Amino acid sequence: MPESVILEGRHVRLEPLSAAHTDGLLRAASESRDTYAYTKVPEDREAMARYVEEALQEQASGASLPFAVRDVRRDALIGSTRFLDLDYWTATPARPAGPSVPRDGAVPTVAEIGSTWLAASAQRTPCNTEAKLLLLTHAFDVWGVFRVTLKTDARNALSRSAIERIGGRFEGIRRAHIRAVDGTVRDSAYYSVLAEEWPGVRAALEARLA
């Protein structure tokens, strides 16, 4: 199971999610509910507390690593994100490229970045770009994963555009995948970044943030 870690950049700090973040996350989620048509974001304190508790239970099982996202300049919480769907291969083939990271079973071999939501005021700002850069850097350069998956509701054009801007390569649509936030059956658009693609993706993200 991967250890909790603080990931810090110039714009955001990703802090290990805890119950102490509940009220700050609720304030962030309450700025504008109109932006969450395709994203599950709790609406009241009871729901937010349950959201945090369930995320921590998933972390304890080794299935995810959740974060609260803090705007460094304002020292205010602006949302949440996490690593999830962590998989640990028992027999790992040689890496095709990238840094040589020893595999000891304590870190995942592949991972997904998801369950991401930001306050309305933080959307379409450097905050999301830098948060993804911090997560991808940790996944590829610290854990040494082969692949990072990103997915979203296929109808969510803004989210799909954001994933493409950070370098995610479109893989296809998984039809009738899960129940959507609005209660319908959701098709999911799948994207990925592979280890051999990471140096180019990192350079592009760093250039965008320069």
Q: What is the reported pLDDT for 105?
A: 59
Whether residue 198 is contained in a domain is answered as: yes
Is 170 inside any structural domain?
yes
Q: Is residue 14 part of a domain?
A: yes
**Rounded Cα distance, 87 and 109, in Å:** 6
Helices (H), 83-171: 126-137, 157-165
The count of structural domains within the chain is: 1
- Domain annotation covers residue 2: no
Dihedrals phi, psi of 142, to nearest 5 degrees = -105, -50
CB-based contact 164:150 (threshold 8 Å): no
Does 42 fall in a domain?
A: yes
Whether 70 maps to a domain, the answer reads: yes
Task: Tell me, yes or no, whether 1 lies in a domain.
Answer: no
**pLDDT means per 10 residues in the chain (210 residues)?**
93 98 97 89 97 97 96 97 93 58 72 96 94 98 95 95 95 96 94 97 96
Burial class (CB in 10 A: 0-12, 13-18, 19+), 201: buried
- DSSP letter, residue 82: E
Which domain, by its residues, includes 164?
7-209
Provide the pLDDT for residue 92.
66
pLDDT (0 to 100) of residue 96: 52
pLDDT at residue number 91:
72
Tokens at residue 58, please? 């998933």
Sheet order of strands, 12-16 included:
7-8, 12-16, 64-71, 76-87, 110-118, 147-153, 185-194, 169-179
Distance of CA 94 to the CA centre of its chain: 26
CATH number, domain of 155, equals 3.40.630.30
Q: 174 in a domain, yes or no?
A: yes
Residue 131, pLDDT score: 98
- Strand 110-118 and strand 147-153: pairing? parallel
- By residue count, the chain amounts to 210
* b/e burial code for range 153-170 (CB count within 10 A of at least 16 → b): bbebeebbebbeebbbee
Residue 169, pLDDT score: 97
| Cα 113–Cα 78–Cα 70 angle in degrees, nearest 5 | 80
